[in-house]
Amino acid sequence: MATSIQQFIDELEKSRDSLQTAGRLVAEQFPDRRLFAHQAEWHGKGVIHHTHSVIEKYADFAHGVVMRASIEPKPNAIFMPASLYQEMMFEFYAGLNLARITLDNLRVFLRPLFATDFGQIPKSITDILQNKTDCPIYDTLLQSDDCSYLIDLRNCLVHHRTFATADQAIVIEDGHESEVNDLTRNFDWLDSFARAYFRRENEKIVVNIYLPDMIFRRDGNDKKLATFTYDRKINLLSQTMHFARLTVQSVTEVCRLLSQHKGEVYTYSRSKQQR
């Protein structure tokens, strides 16, 4: 990955500081909105917490892969314990669900700024984005591919297909996928193993865990679970950071708006717009 583990951690710390600063400003400018700011801040910090845990578990799992891939003769496939992989996915699940909950609850945090009756604003971020509001936060989310992917991935895990695995993993060197798949095709018990990949770059070994290219295939109003492919090489750790940025920036912007506007400035209506 182009971005190092430490860079990810540093970015999370900076985003936490920015969120706290924005929350304090709300309390100073409008003390009666303190609760809304604290709620927004709590959700953002929770996403940061789970993202930090994903980073740590991913790094520890990758270290185990690197140690095994470095032995002689150099292997092109590794079978290894993967309890760290499971723990990473526990945190990924938790962070993804909290991110979705946070996006759903933006309406709660922004309540002082909406002229529209609170009961008329849908509880689901999906329903809000399918309709019309002049709040800039929702416009940003509407244009975000990360938001669409987050919603689809969370819905897949909750309603359609789990990413649960055994506590063992198969880690395959790039370029050897087909031959390893040929060797393991007749062993059904391997289907539950976690999958990861690695490549050699001079003296460096890079470890990747991938997410599906597409979650749902849409045809008009019809939506079906897609056949999972991994051609886009969506790295789980990088995408987790994308989700964290999206969510934390949203709640930080909530606090900024709460500290800027005195009264009700935004509206919501059910007038449809295309996403």
- Residue 138 · residue 275 · CB < 8 Å: no
Tokens of 125: 């971020």
Report the number of distinct structural domains present in the chain. Answer: 1
- Domain of residue 81: give its range: 5-269
**pLDDT > 70 in the chain, percent:** 97
Tokens of 87: 């723990």
The answer, yes or no, to whether the previous bond of 112 is cis (omega within 30 of 0) is no
Residue 132's pLDDT is what?
Answer: 94
Residues lower than pLDDT 50 in the chain: 1, 273-275
CA-based nearest residue to 129, from 139, 114, 119, 120:
139
Instruction: Indicate whether 155 belongs to any domain.
Output: yes
Residue 183's pLDDT is what?
Answer: 78
Containing H/E element for 216?
strand 216-219
Instruction: Indicate whether 41 belongs to any domain.
Output: yes
Residue 3's pLDDT is what?
Answer: 67
| Distance (Å, whole) CA 50 – CA 244 | 9
Q: What is the pTM of this model?
A: 0.93
3-state class of 175 per DSSP?
A: coil
The angle at the Cα of 210, spanning 205 to 215, to the nearest 5 degrees, equals 170
Instruction: Indicate whether 274 belongs to any domain.
Output: no
Instruction: Indicate whether 192 belongs to any domain.
Output: yes
3-state class of 213 per DSSP?
A: coil
Instruction: Indicate whether 190 belongs to any domain.
Output: yes
3-state class of 261 per DSSP?
A: coil
Instruction: Indicate whether 117 belongs to any domain.
Output: yes
| Distance (Å, whole) CA 227 – CA 91 | 25
Instruction: Indicate whether 152 belongs to any domain.
Output: yes
Longest dimension (CA), the chain: 69
- Residue 44 · residue 102 · CB < 8 Å: yes
Half-sphere exposure of 212 (CA within 13 A, CB side): 19
3-state class of 83 per DSSP?
A: helix
Residue 2's pLDDT is what?
Answer: 55
Alpha helices in the chain (DSSP H): 5-29, 34-69, 83-104, 106-109, 125-129, 136-142, 145-159, 177-184, 236-260
Single-letter amino acid code for the residue at 45: K
Instruction: Indicate whether 275 belongs to any domain.
Output: no
- Residue 224 · residue 217 · CB < 8 Å: yes
